[in-house]
Amino acid sequence: MMRWLSVVGIVFFLFGCGPKGASRETLDRLSEAKMACQSAETRAKNLEAQRIKLEEELARKQATLGDLQKQLQELEKPTPKE
């Protein structure tokens, strides 16, 4: 009988002190945090794509500027007088 009570006592102690389920409030906060994280990741991807697009546009405009500067230099060259 004493062994049986000891086993039952140990089982109650182990299961009573074991991990508990998360509260509804904790689960809600976790869900909100996950949604915020997903939103932030999506925003980061969009911003990265926008940055790449803007860098490409900048490169095109710099190339155009270089071409225009060359044309301007050609026009400003003194023409030989005949």
> Is 3 part of a structural domain of the chain?
no
Decide which of 76 and 57 is more confident: 57
Averaged pLDDT for residues 33-47: 98
> Is 15 part of a structural domain of the chain?
no
Q: Give the pLDDT confidence score for residue 77 in this predicted structure.
A: 85
> Is 18 part of a structural domain of the chain?
no
Domain that holds residue 61: 28-73
Averaged pLDDT for residues 31-48: 98
> Is 16 part of a structural domain of the chain?
no
- Model confidence, pTM: 0.58
> Is 59 part of a structural domain of the chain?
yes
Distances (CA, A) of 39 to 3, 23, 29, 50, 67: 57, 24, 15, 16, 42
Q: Give the pLDDT confidence score for residue 62 in this predicted structure.
A: 98
> Is 37 part of a structural domain of the chain?
yes
> Is 32 part of a structural domain of the chain?
yes
Number of domains in the chain: 1
Task: Give me the torsion for CA of 46, 50, 56, 57, rounded to 10°.
Answer: 160
| Average pLDDT, rounded, for the chain | 87
